[in-house]
Structure 1
Amino acid sequence: MKPGHAIGSLRHRLAQLCGAPHDPDPGSLSHSERLRCAGAGLVGGLLFDATTLGLRHITGAPSFPEDTSDLLVPFLPAATFNSLLSALGPHGKELLVVGALTGAVIAVVLLGTLYGGLVWRGWRPGRLATVLGVVGFIGLWALFGPVLDANDAGGTLLRRRAIGAGTLALDVIVSVGAVYLLVGRPRSREGGAGPEVPDRRAFLAALGGLGGGLLLGTGGLVAGFRSLAGATNLDYEGRWSSAASPITPIDQHYVVSKNLVDPSVNVDTWRLQVDGLVRSPVTLTLDDLRRLPQRQEIVTLECISNSVGGGLMSTARWRGPRLAEVIGLAGAVDQRARFAIVSAVDGYFDSLPIDAALSSSTVVALTMNEVTLPDRHGFPARIVFPGHYGEKSMKWLARIEVAEHDHLGFYQRQGWSEDAGVRTWSRFDAIGSGRPLRAGHPAILRGHAFAGTRGIESVQVSTDGGTTWGEADLDAAISPYAWRFFTSHWTPSHPGTYVLVVRAVDGAGALQEERREDSPPRGSSGFHSVTAQVV
C-alpha cells in the first residue's frame, strides 16, 4: 500500500472511531447554532474551573492554576523570576490564578465550538464526546503528569499521583459532559435534507440549559475562587521585618513558599519514604520519627531572595531527629551514594550532598520554638540544613531518595545556586532610640550579621559613608549556626546628614563582599547603608 493510501486509511479509521458519518452534512452552522456551541463551551469551561477548585479542597490535590504554576515557574530564568517578584509582588500569583482559569475557559469554548460543528454535521455525539474527553485527559496528563505528585494531605507517592490523575479526569469529565448535554442532538431536517425544522421546545430547553449551566458554573467558580483566595499566600511574609530578639517568634518568622496554597497535611495519611541506594527501603510515620533521639539546634534561615538590608531572615529553635538517623532506619547506605534527593508533599524537590545529609547538624525538625511545627513551616516534618539558604531546608517532607546522581532542584531549574551556601551579610536594625538624633548626644546603633556555619568574627561600622571604620561590640553567640547581634555607640559631632554603613568579617577572617549583587543566582551581596539626619 502506498504511503498516501495508508495515511488516508488511517485518517478514515480515526474519523469512524470518533463517530464521523458516512455522508456528512456539508451545511454550515447558523449564527444561533454557533452561539449555542460557544455557550455550551463557556458553561463547560466555568464548570471545569469550579470543579478543579472544589476538588482541591476535597482531595488536597492541587487545582489547575497550581499545576500550571508548578509546571511553568521552574523554567523561568532566576533573574526574570526575581524581576517579576519585585515588580508584581502579591499580584503575581493573582495574575497566574486568573490567567490559568481564563485559559481553561477559552480552551473549552473552542472545544465546544468544534464539537458542536461536528455533531451538527452528523457526527455521533456520544462517541465524539468520549473520544474528545479521553484525548483531552491524556493530553493534560502528559503535560501535567510530572507535577501531579503533590497533595496537601500527604500519603505515599503512588497515592498522591493517583489522586492527582483522578481529579484531573473528573475536571475533564465534568466539562466535556456539560458540552455534550448542552449542545444536544444534531438538528432535524424534513426528509433528511433541506432547511432546518424549527423546534421551539428544543430551543427553549437549550436556552434553559445554558442559563442554568452558566448560573451553576459561575456560582461554583465564585465559591471555589473565594475558598482558594482565603487560603492563598500571595506574597512573602516578613520581607521587611526587624530582628527584635535573638529567637524569632513564630508569628514573626519569615515565610516563603512557591505555592498558591500551602499544604495542611493529614498526619494520619502522611508517610515519609526512605529509599534508593539503601539496604532496606522503609516507609515511616510521624510516631516513628518521634521515637528517634531528638536533637535541638538554634539555626538562622535566610531566603536566597533576601535583599541587602531585607528581612527574609529569622532564627528559631528546631528540634527533631538527625537526618542521618532517619536515613539509617533504611539500613546501610550504598558506597555509590552521592546525594540525598528530597521531595515534599507540595511537589517541591531538591538535593543535598550525601555528606551534608549525614552531618550531625542537619536535622528533620518536628518542633519549632518548642511547639509542634506549624503548617506554614512544614508540618509534620521539615529539613533544617544550617549554613545554606532556605530553599535547601525543605518543608512538608515526603521522601528521601539516596542516589548516585544529582537531581536538579525546583529553583535550581531557574538557575539559582545549587550549593546555596549563605553569603556573609549584615544589617542595621535600629538607629538610636526612635527619637531624632541630636549633635553631641550619644546614639546606639543596633543590628545583626550572619555568615552561616562560618560564624561572625567581627562587625565594623562607618559613620562617614565608608571612609573610616570602627569595631562594634558583639553580643554572645547563641549558636554556631545563628546570626549575631552587634551594638555600636556613636556621638555625632555636628548637625547634618550622615551615611552609616555596616560590614562583617566571618569566622574564617574573610571580609563581607562590598560589591552590590542582586539575589539571582547565589544570594545578594553588598554593604547595608542608611542615611541619618542629625539636628
Structure 2
Amino acid sequence: MTTSATTGPGVTARTREGWAAAAGITAVGTAVVLGEIAATLISPSVSPMTAVGGAVIDAVPPGVKDWAVSLFGTADKVALLAGMALVIAGLAALAGVVEARRRFAGVALIAVFGLAGVAAVLGRAAATAYAPAVPVAVALAAVLLLRWLLRRLQDWAPENWAQETDAARAPDARAPVADQGEWAGPNRPDLPAGHEPAGHEPSEHGYAGNGQPMPPARPAAALPPAAAPPARRRFVQALGGTAVAGALGGVLAGTLRGSAAAVTEGRSKLVLPAAKSPAPAIPAGASIALDGLEPLVTPNADFYRIDTALRVPLIDPDKWALKVTGLVDREIELDFAALLAKPMTERHVTIACVSNQVGGDLIGNARWLGWPVRELLAMAGPKPGADMVLSRSTDGWTAGTPLEALTDSRDAMLAVGMNGEPLPLEHGFPARLIVPGLYGYVSATKWVTELKVTRFADDKGYWTPRGWSERGPIKISSRIDVPRNGARPGAGTVVFGGTAWAQPTGVGAVDLRIDGGPWRSVELAPGISKDTWYQWKLGAVLGPGQHEVQVRATDLNGVVQVEGHAPVAPDGATGYHTIRVDVKS
C-alpha cells in the first residue's frame, strides 16, 4: 500500500503549487492595478501597461499590425490589452510557483519585468519625470504581496512536510500506529536492537500482537496538526482579500480614468468659435435613404479609431501648445486660446486608414472645424528645400506629410471641432490634423503638439521605417454596403447601395457588375464635395441562386479604380469589392 505525497492535511504537492500560482496572479494583478491608479494621478498619459503595450506595437512587424487590424478592427487595442493580461497572468503564476519552490526565484522574475516596465516608460515621449517610479512601485508591491501570501501558504502547507520521493511514499518506520499508540517498526524504543518480543514476527508493516501483521502506518507528516484549519482559513482569507482589493482598485482606476476631471470638464465647457468660412450646405439628394447604408456623415460615436495610443492622451486645453520648428524663418508657439481666436474654416472631409481593406470600414466622413494649416505655415515661413512636415503627437507618434499638401488650396486644417462639437478625446482633443486626400498614417496626427518643417531625406514618420511608403495618397475605391456579403434576399428586384470616394478629384461614376456580365451604371448621389465620399444605389432583378456582385468607381478625370488586388502595405489596398448573395426563390 502506498500513500500520495502531501504537503499538509489533504494538500498534495501539485495542489500547493496551484495555490502558489494563484498567489502570484493575485499579488501581481493587484500591484498592476495599483500602478494604474498611481499612473492616472501622476502620469495620466503613460502607465506601465500602456508603456509596455506601446513598446510591443512599436516592435511588431507591419504584417502583424495589419493582421491585428484585419482581425479585430477598431477593437485591436482591447485585444492587445487582453493578450497582455493573459501573458502577465501566466508570468505571475510562474513567479508564484518558483518562489514557493525556491526563495527569491519568483522575486527575481518580478524584478526583471519591473525593469522592463521602467525601460518601456522611459521610451514613451509623454512620460513625466515621475512616471518611471510607477513600474518600480508596481514591482515592489508585487514582491511584498507575493511574499506575504506565500508565508500564509507556508503556515498552512509547509513545503517540507513531505517530498515526492520514495522515502516520502514509504511509511515512516517510527510513526505511531493510528488508534493503537504503538510503534510500527522493529526498533521499538523499549527494546534493544534485535530483541523483538516472543511471538512477534516481522511483517511488511511492522509487528502487532498475537503474531498478526500490523496495518499500514500513515506517515507522520500526514497527521493533521491542530493548527491546520485556521492556517488554511487565514491563507484563503488573505488570498481572497487581496483579490477583492485588486478588483476594487480596478474599479477605482476606471473611475479616475473615466472622469479625467480637468480634461473632461474643460472639454464640456468649451464653446467652439463660429466658422468664418462655414461648410457648404449638403446638396439635396446627397444622402440616400436605404436600410443598412452607411450614413453620409458618420456620427462621432461610430467613427473609426486606429492609432498606437493604448491609453487616450488626456491634455488639458489650458496647458496645450503647438510649436512650429525646423526649416522655417520664424519658430512659432501657439496656445489653445490663440488657436481658437484664428479665423476658422469648416468642411466635410472623408478620412481613411491605410489599413482599410477593400470593402472595409476604416473610413469615415465628418464635418471638421479648424484653422487652415497653410496660414500657420505661412507665418513660420518654410525655407527653400523643405518638402515635408513631420507632425508629432503628445505620445511621440509622428507622421510625415508632403509640405505641398499642407500649403496648397486643399482644406488641410488644424482641427478643433468634429460634427459641431469639440473633438472627442479619442479623436485628438484638443487639436489634430485633417488633410484631405492622404491616408491617416501620413497626415491625421491626433493630439498634435509640433509641426517640424523638414525634408523627406532627413526625417521619417512613425510608419515609414516599418515598411510603409513615404507618401500615402488615398486611392480611388468603392464599397457595397447593402446587401451584405452572404445575404439571402428574395427573388426579384434587389437594391444594392454603397459608397465611393476619389479624393481630391471627386467621383464621376460608379458601376456594378453581376456574375461577370456587363457593367451597369448606378444612380450616383451628388457628393458633398470632392473631398468626401459619395453614395450610390442600383436595383437589379435577380433570379434564385448564388450571384457574384462587384463594384468599381471612376473619378472626374476618367481614372478608373484599379482592379488588380494589392494588400494594404505599403500604400493602400486595391481591387474591386466583391460580394456574393444567395437569392431565395
TM-score under structure 1 length normalisation: 0.70
Are 1:527 and 2:576 an aligned pair?
yes
Are 1:473 and 2:556 an aligned pair?
no
Q: Which of these residues, 323, 328, 335, is aligned with residue 384 of structure 2?
A: 335
Q: Which moved more, 1:84-93 or 1:319-328?
A: 84-93
- What runs of 5+ residues in structure 2 fail to find an aligned partner? 1-16, 152-230, 259-290
Distance 2:539 2:72 in 1: 39
Name the SS for the 2:504 alignment partner.
helix
Distance 1:75 1:117 in 2: 31
Name the SS for the 1:60 alignment partner.
coil
Distance 2:86 2:462 in 1: 22
Q: Which of these residues, 485, 509, 514, is aligned with residue 563 of structure 2?
A: 514
Aligned twin of 1:68: 52
Are 1:420 and 2:472 an aligned pair?
yes
2:40 alignment partner AA: H
Q: Which of these residues, 497, 500, 510, is aligned with residue 449 of structure 1?
A: 500
Are 1:290 and 2:340 an aligned pair?
yes
Aligned twin of 2:511: 460
Distance 1:174 1:247 in 2: 49
User: How far 1:299 moved relative to its partner?
Assistant: 0.8
Name the SS for the 2:128 alignment partner.
helix
Contact 2:20 2:93 in 1 (8 A): no
Q: Which of these residues, 395, 402, 405, is aligned with residue 453 of structure 2?
A: 402
User: How far 1:294 moved relative to its partner?
Assistant: 0.9
Are 1:355 and 2:355 an aligned pair?
no
User: Which structure would you say has the larger Rg?
Assistant: 2
2:248 alignment partner AA: A
Q: How many residues align?
A: 457
Aligned twin of 1:501: 550
Aligned twin of 2:63: 79
Q: How does 1:153-302 map to 2 (within 5 A)?
A: 160-172=127-139, 174-175=141-142, 218-226=243-251, 243-302=293-352
TM-score under structure 2 length normalisation: 0.65
Name the SS for the 2:132 alignment partner.
helix
Aligned twin of 2:218: none
Distance 1:270 1:103 in 2: 40
User: How far 1:78 moved relative to its partner?
Assistant: 2.3
Contact 2:54 2:310 in 1 (8 A): no
Aligned twin of 1:149: 125
Are 1:102 and 2:152 an aligned pair?
no
Aligned twin of 1:55: 38
User: How far 1:386 moved relative to its partner?
Assistant: 1.0
User: How far 1:485 moved relative to its partner?
Assistant: 1.9
Distance 2:334 2:232 in 1: 55
Contact 2:478 2:553 in 1 (8 A): yes
1:190-232 CA distance string (max 9 Å, x none)? xxxxxxxxxxxxxxxx999998985675344323445667879
1:95 alignment partner AA: A
Pick closer, same or farther for the CA change 1:183–1:325 going to 2, 3 Å: farther
Distance 1:485 1:304 in 2: 21
1:374-409 CA distance string (max 9 Å, x none)? 222211111111112233312222222223455443
Distance 1:379 1:103 in 2: 37
User: How far 1:108 moved relative to its partner?
Assistant: 6.8
Q: How does 1:318-333 map to 2 (within 5 A)?
A: 318-328=368-378, 331-333=380-382
Distance 1:39 1:430 in 2: 50
Contact 1:461 1:501 in 2 (8 A): yes
User: How far 1:49 moved relative to its partner?
Assistant: 1.0
User: How far 1:255 moved relative to its partner?
Assistant: 2.6
User: How far 1:481 moved relative to its partner?
Assistant: 0.8
Name the SS for the 1:454 alignment partner.
coil
Pick closer, same or farther for the CA change 1:107–1:56 going to 2, 3 Å: farther
2:509 alignment partner AA: S
Distance 2:239 2:333 in 1: 46
Aligned twin of 1:190: none
Contact 2:293 2:482 in 1 (8 A): no
> What RMSD over aligned residues (CA atoms) do the two structures have, in Å?
4.5
